Structure formats: C-alpha cells, structure tokens
Chains A and B, each alone.
Chain A
Amino acid sequence: MAEVEFEQVRKAFGGHTVIPALDLQVRDGELLVLLGPSGCGKSTLLRLLAGLEVASGGEIRIGGRAVDGLGPRERNIAMVFQNYALYPHKTVRGNLEFPLRMRGMRRGERDRRVAEAARALGLDAVLDKRPAELSGGQRQRVAMGRAIVREPDVFLMDEPLSNLDARLRVQIRAEIGALQRRIGVTTLYVTHDQVEAMTLGDRVAVMRDGVIQQIGPPAALYEHPANLFVAGFLGSPAMNLFEPAFEQREGARWMQLGGNWSRLPEGVPKQSRFAGLRPEAFGAGNAEGAHAITLRGEVHAVELLGHERIVYLRTEGRMVEPVPGGIGTSDGLLAARLTDGPAPSLGETLTLRANAGNIHWFDAEGTAVEAE
C-alpha cells in the first residue's frame, strides 16, 4: 500500500505533447478514477505510472520513492488491461501464478496465494482451463486475480469493464468496488464511462487534453462542476448549457432563456456568461414563485424510462456545448428529466419551470463562478 504522487509530469510523443505538466496525489488506499474522453491522456498517465512509458519530465513517486528510472518490474504495481491480456498458452492457474514465479516465490506459497485469489474471485472450477475456454466475465476475473495475487502497492486498471456486456458490467463493477474496499490497495482506475466513475471512485479526476480539469468526490463534481467541460461531461443526459441574453431593468437583472425573459434573483455573478441547468432541474410543477424561471420549447423526442421520462425540446436561444479547445454550438436540444405530469406528445409546445438557484454560472472562459 502506498500513496502515489505525480509532480509536474510531462509526456510528449515526438513533437506532440499529450500531458503538459500534471500534478496529482492519490491517497493511500484510495480508489481514484481518471475520467475523460478518449485521447485525453488518462491511459498515458496510467502507463507512465506502470513504467510502460517514460515521462518526458517531472517526477513520479510511489510510497514516497521516486520510480522514474525504474522498469515496470521494480515498481510493485499490478495492472488490469482493457483486453485483459491473459496469456493464451497458459491455464488460469498458470496466468495467476506467473507474477509470483517472476518474483521467485516458492511453490507452497504460490499455491496458497493462487488458491486464495481463485476462491475470492470464484475461479476454483476453471483453474485448469485456458483463457479461450472462459466467458468474458471469467476472463475479467482472471485478470483481476492476476493483479491481486501479487499483493502490489498499487492497482492500475485501464478500462477493465469495456469489453463486457451491460449486465455483466454492472455486476463486475460492484465486485471491483467491494474487492478494492476489502483489500484497501491504492487504485487508479481509467474509464471514459461516467457511471463507472461516479459509482466506483472515492475521488474522480476529470481530464481533458492532458490537463486535470477538476478532482474531487463524485458528488462534488456533479454538484459543483469547476468549468463547462466538467459540467457537460458528467451527467446523462448532459447538463443543458445556454448562452442567454442579459438585460438590466426595473432594478434587477433579467435573462432570456428559451424564448422567455425571467427575472434573476440577487447575487448572480456579474461576469456570468453561460448558464447551465441539469435535466432534473426542470419540472412541470415545481419552482413556482419569485425565483422561478420559465422556458418554452417544442417537444422533439420523448424517452420513456419507466419511472421517469426524458423530454428533448427544441428551444429558442443559443445553446452551447464544450468541445475540445473551446465552446461550440450544440444541436440546440434541451433535455429535461420529468417524473410527473402527463406524457407530452411530439410537436407539442411545453413550458418548463426551474429554480434560478439551481443554475450553474460560468464566465466567458467557461470557468464556474459562484453566486455572490
């Protein structure tokens, strides 16, 4: 067990910089999720820690020890790969045993550790089979097993669930979480799936273009996104982001959103340029009163999810979405998660209400600004 520190770590491939200068501390025993779109540098960061890539600058420490000059074998880390990377010519036992053999462990101790890992992961029955004879879920478990037999300082997991079907993914996700809590090994978990990040992570670091946009507990990121990118990346459907028109009249600030002018409460930051509203912030009936804002739109699509429905509206006004390197115009559909009221029909004009207090404000650079 150990804490992991990245200090001013830089990585470039040829002339192309993937990670400009990154600082990150992973606490001892913590499960930290690196979340971001593909190509954001999250896997590269993992590979730098594993020693599979060499950093172009900065320092990486595991348990206080600088590991920059060390090869993968000297770092005492274990890694679960996206495609599992099980050795096809070895049995499950051979796969689990391999890292122990490489450390010169005695036969008796090896057998004990393998048996223990197999029991913990329900692999007893398949120990003498080869990977090709296993199901996807079993392969995933063998990959996990190969990581835990070592009792490493740090676990690295690179999208370990992405090759599983949806049902199995949920099940194994829960197993990974339980396993990690039980053995308490510091874990870095890379994914582009926000649901995995939100459910598994003690903390989540959202990355983009090799830069950590925000790091914190999942709920904090969801409730207080630091910028437009994090706001747009976390949540499904994503936060609705607007670039509304503002006006000062009658001693108050007004904002035009989705065709309607609404009076804003005191304390909305002056530098606000973009406004964000989560789909669940809307209701047909809630947010009556002084701080209510209303907006109208034409129903474009309705997704029935049983206990709720997601309604997509086409509204007037400018909607935006964060794109690599800046802010772009979105397709202009507003998503609202509605739990009550009659199901709207396509083409119908719907009026939605939301509480102005639920609006996330961002300045012209896309950085979150808190209400005063």
Chain B
Amino acid sequence: MNRWPRLRAALAYALLLAFTLLFVAPVLFMLVGSLKPDDLVLAEAGTMRAFFPDTISLGNYRAVFERVPFGLYLASSLIINGLIVGLGLLVNAFAGYALARLRWWGREAMLALVLAVLVIPFEAIAIPLFYQLSWIGWRDDWLVQAIPFVANPLAIFLFYSFFLGLPRELEEAARVDGASVLRTFFAIVVPNAKPAFASVAIVLFLFHWGMYLWPLLMTTSEAVRPLPLGIANFHTLPPLQWGDIMAFGVLMVLPVLILFVVFQRWFVRGVASTGVKG
C-alpha cells in the first residue's frame, strides 16, 4: 500500500535533481574549470572529469591578476554600479512617489509612458544615444556608463506600486504633524519602504553588472572599463587560456552572489509585497 506513493516521490525527486543538474552544470563547469590546469579545461570538457577534477590549483586565479588589471576592472564595475544603484534609488523612488502620491497635471500620461518605455530594449537606442553623447563629446569615463541607466522604468514601477500600498494616512499624519513633503518622504515613507528599496537595488545591480555593449561603445581606456570588457579582453590576449577565463568568471559572479545572499530576505519580501499590491 505504502510503496507506490514513496516510489512516486522518489521519481519526482529524481526528475527534479536531473533538471537541477542540467541548469547548474554550466556554473559548476566554470567553477571546476577555474581550478584546473589550463590544458585540461577543454580536453576534459566532454567527460565527467569536467565536474570532478583530480588536481586542484589556484594558478588560474593568479594568472587573472597577472595577465589583466583585474583590480582596475573590478573597481570600475563597482563605481559604475554604485552610481547606478545609489542615484537610481533616489531618482526612481522620487519618480515612483510622485506618480503614486502627488497630484500634478499629466500624471496619468506619464505613468502610461513609463510603462511603455519598459518594453524598449536598450540595444534599440544604444547607437542613437552613442551618437548623441559623442556629439557633445562625453565619453570614456565612469559617469557616462552610469547616468543613462539611473532612471529605470521597472524600478519606477516597483516603487510606484509599493508606495500605492502604503497607508496614505501615515503621510497625512506627518503633514499634519508639521512635516514638509520632502521631510515626510524621508522620515516616514522611506523607512517603511525598505523592501522596495532592497528589491530595486538588486534589480538595478543585476541588470547592469554584466553590461557589455554600452561600455564597449563608450570606452577606449582600460582604466574606466568594467569587468565584462575585461573578460572579453582575454580573447585578444594569446594564448587563449580557458582556465583563466573561468577564474575571471568566478571572480565576476562572486560580488553578485554576496549581494544577493545579504539582501535575500528583503528581496523576497519586496517582491512578495510589490506583487500583492501591484
């Protein structure tokens, strides 16, 4: 009697495990590859050795720092993303709040516009934007890689729907208590919208950490180039060493992973609450 449900559960878990392995495999391949001698990465790619190495070395990691200015790329990436996230939280929260709470002419049209802009892929406007900025002579620094991405329609929408769900009376009470609109926003709204700020921070960071096309268009000096251009740099540096590229990849993923683990609690809550109220 009892055997059939158990068998079914076992089958279900086997299936789940198979799919998990399928999706985790590339990440595992990268991690293992980064720890293997360079010549073995491709040689063992088709075998189980790709996932279970017999020798482990940190040589590839040393090579990453010796062959390319990894620290420089990392610094650029952190600065660019720090600007995007920091300014993005402020600008998008203001925009979301104005849409959700303030009364102004054209508010509804603006909301519709924000939603419409959501569907425009960046690649579609990258070239016109490139010409526009080149024309005013602005290129090849950190700011030009960050400023175009500060205002983000998805972030505005996340803030907008979260603010809509906050009880309006809190803000009215603050106004009656003597707070200005700006003061009300910072003293009352922001502390009660931490989940929204956390989700937007993560969304903005994730979107732009791997950005490649725009930095490629806008930068020429190594000093301001972010990590994704750094990893591409390997292809121009013979000999092509896959182990080094894997190690670079691991180092590039690490900050994102740390950020996600630290903010995971808020992120999940933020998504849950914006989901319910939006």
The proximity string for B residues 170-199 relative to A, scoring 1 for CB distances below 8 Å and 0 otherwise, is 101111111110010001100110000000
- Report which of B175, B177, B178, B192 forms a contact with A88, defined as CB distance below 8 A: B192
Stretch of A97-105, A166-174, A222-230, A287-295 contacting B (4+ beta carbons < 8 Å): A97-105
Within 8 A of A (CB), among B106-143: none
- Does B169 make an interface contact (CB < 8 A)? yes
Contact B170 A85 (CB under 8 A): yes
A65 CA to B174 CA in the complex, in Å? Answer: 23
A208 CA to B17 CA in the complex, in Å? Answer: 67
Interface size class of A (residues with CB under 8 A): 20 to 34
- Does A81 make an interface contact (CB < 8 A)? yes
Contact B176 A50 (CB under 8 A): yes
Q: A52-B172, A89-B191, A102-B183 are in contact. Are A83 and B177 (CB under 8 A)?
A: no
Instruction: Give min CB distance, A145 to chain B, whole Å.
Output: 12
- Report which of A52, A82, A87 forms a contact with B176, defined as CB distance below 8 A: A52
Contact B175 A71 (CB under 8 A): yes
Q: A88-B192, A89-B191, A102-B183 are in contact. Are A83 and B169 (CB under 8 A)?
A: yes
Instruction: Give min CB distance, A13 to chain B, whole Å.
Output: 12
Instruction: Give min CB distance, B230 to chain A, whole Å.
Output: 41
Contact A99 B172 (CB under 8 A): no
A72 CA to B172 CA in the complex, in Å? Answer: 9
Instruction: Give min CB distance, B152 to chain A, whole Å.
Output: 26
- Can you name the residue of chain B whose Cβ is closest to the Cβ of A76? B178
A176 CA to B208 CA in the complex, in Å? Answer: 56
Enumerate chain B residues within 8 angstroms of A78, measured Cβ to Cβ: 176-177
- Report which of B172, B187, B191, B192 forms a contact with A81, defined as CB distance below 8 A: B172
Enumerate chain A residues within 8 angstroms of B177, measured Cβ to Cβ: 73, 78, 98-99, 102, 146, 150
Instruction: Give min CB distance, B159 to chain A, whole Å.
Output: 18
Within 8 A of B (CB), among A66-114: 71-73, 77-79, 81-83, 85, 87-89, 98-99, 102-103
Enumerate chain B residues within 8 angstroms of A89, measured Cβ to Cβ: 191-192
A78 CA to B167 CA in the complex, in Å? Answer: 18
Contact B175 A73 (CB under 8 A): yes
Instruction: Give min CB distance, B101 to chain A, whole Å.
Output: 12
- Can you name the residue of chain A whose Cβ is closest to the Cβ of B169? A85
Enumerate chain B residues within 8 angstroms of A98, measured Cβ to Cβ: 174, 177, 179, 187
A73 CA to B176 CA in the complex, in Å? Answer: 5
A50 CA to B170 CA in the complex, in Å? Answer: 14
- Can you name the residue of chain A whose Cβ is closest to the Cβ of B194? A89
Enumerate chain B residues within 8 angstroms of A85, measured Cβ to Cβ: 167, 169-170, 172-173
Name, among B167, B173, B175, B180, the residue most crowded by chain A CB atoms within 10 Å (CB to CB): B173
A13 CA to B100 CA in the complex, in Å? Answer: 18
Contact B178 A102 (CB under 8 A): yes
- Report which of B169, B180, B188, B191 forms a contact with A73, defined as CB distance below 8 A: B180
Instruction: Give min CB distance, B192 to chain A, whole Å.
Output: 6
A150 CA to B177 CA in the complex, in Å? Answer: 8
Instruction: Give min CB distance, B187 to chain A, whole Å.
Output: 8
Contact A102 B173 (CB under 8 A): no
Contact A79 B179 (CB under 8 A): no
Name, among A73, A77, A146, the residue most crowded by chain B CB atoms within 10 Å (CB to CB): A73
Contact B172 A103 (CB under 8 A): no
- Report which of B167, B174, B176, B191 forms a contact with A83, defined as CB distance below 8 A: B167
Instruction: Give min CB distance, B273 to chain A, whole Å.
Output: 14
Name, among A72, A85, A103, A146, the residue most crowded by chain B CB atoms within 10 Å (CB to CB): A85
Enumerate chain A residues within 8 angstroms of B172, measured Cβ to Cβ: 50, 52, 72, 79, 81, 85
Contact A73 B167 (CB under 8 A): no
A150 CA to B188 CA in the complex, in Å? Answer: 19
- Report which of A73, A82, A83 forms a contact with B179, defined as CB distance below 8 A: A73
Q: A88-B192, A102-B183 are in contact. Are A77 and B169 (CB under 8 A)?
A: no
Question: Which 9 interchain pairs have the tightest Cβ spacing?
Answer: A102-B178, A85-B169, A99-B177, A85-B173, A89-B191, A73-B178, A72-B175, A72-B176, A81-B169
Q: A85-B170, A88-B192 are in contact. List 16 more A-B contacts (CB 8 A).
A: A50-B176, A51-B176, A52-B172, A52-B176, A71-B175, A72-B172, A72-B176, A72-B178, A73-B177, A73-B178, A79-B173, A81-B172, A81-B173, A83-B167, A87-B170, A87-B174
A residues with a Cβ closer than 8 A to B are: 50-52, 71-73, 77-79, 81-83, 85, 87-89, 98-99, 102-103, 146, 150
Q: List 26 A-B contacts (CB under 8 A).
A: A50-B172, A50-B176, A52-B172, A52-B175, A52-B176, A72-B172, A72-B175, A73-B176, A73-B178, A78-B176, A78-B177, A79-B173, A79-B176, A81-B172, A82-B169, A83-B169, A85-B167, A85-B170, A85-B173, A87-B188, A88-B170, A88-B192, A99-B177, A102-B179, A103-B178, A150-B177
B residues with a Cβ closer than 8 A to A are: 167, 169-170, 172-180, 183, 187-188, 191-192
